[in-house]
Structure 1
């Protein structure tokens, strides 16, 4: 099975879980990890600009990585998944949790 098929299956499963576990619109917590010395944090910040998101960052113990937590109200699971895909396409080396 190729990666794109696995990725789409993951998002379909996530969408079903989100519909089952929350009433929409709802607050959603995104978590990402990027290299500290990259522009990843700023790029992620810009992708959530104008959404009323609360963004917090935490550097790893050795400072090589930065975790980015974003709490934002999303209208539905499709919007959540669209934002995950947008981050994955636009931020090099990002890890989504």
Structure 2
């Protein structure tokens, strides 16, 4: 199975779970990990800047990586997935949790 198909299946499963577990619009918590020395933190902040998101960061013990948590209110699971895809396309080396 190619990675594109796996990714599509993952997002379809996530969408179904989001519809099953929340009433929309709803708050959603994103978590990402980026290399601390790069532009990843700023890039992620820029992507969520216009949504009124609450963004917190936490640097790893050795300072090499930073976790970025974003709490934001979104209208539906499709909006959640669209943001995941936007981050993946625009932030180099990001890990989505």
- Please indicate the TM-score interval, normalised by the length of the shorter structure: over 0.9
Q: Partner residue of 2:31? A: 31
Aligned 1:30-69 pairs, distance under 5 A: 30-69=30-69
Report deviation, 1:40.
0.2
Q: Partner residue of 1:8? A: 8
Q: SS at the partner of 1:23?
A: coil
Asked if 1:18 is matched to 2:18, the reply is yes
Report deviation, 1:68.
0.1
Q: SS at the partner of 2:62?
A: coil
Q: SS at the partner of 1:49?
A: helix
Q: Partner residue of 1:72? A: 72
Q: SS at the partner of 1:78?
A: helix
Higher helix share: 2
Report deviation, 1:34.
0.1
Q: SS at the partner of 1:24?
A: coil
RMSD of aligned alpha carbons = 0.2
Report deviation, 1:50.
1.2
The two structures have a TM-score, normalised by structure 1, of 1.00
Q: SS at the partner of 2:67?
A: strand
Q: SS at the partner of 1:50?
A: helix
Q: SS at the partner of 1:43?
A: helix
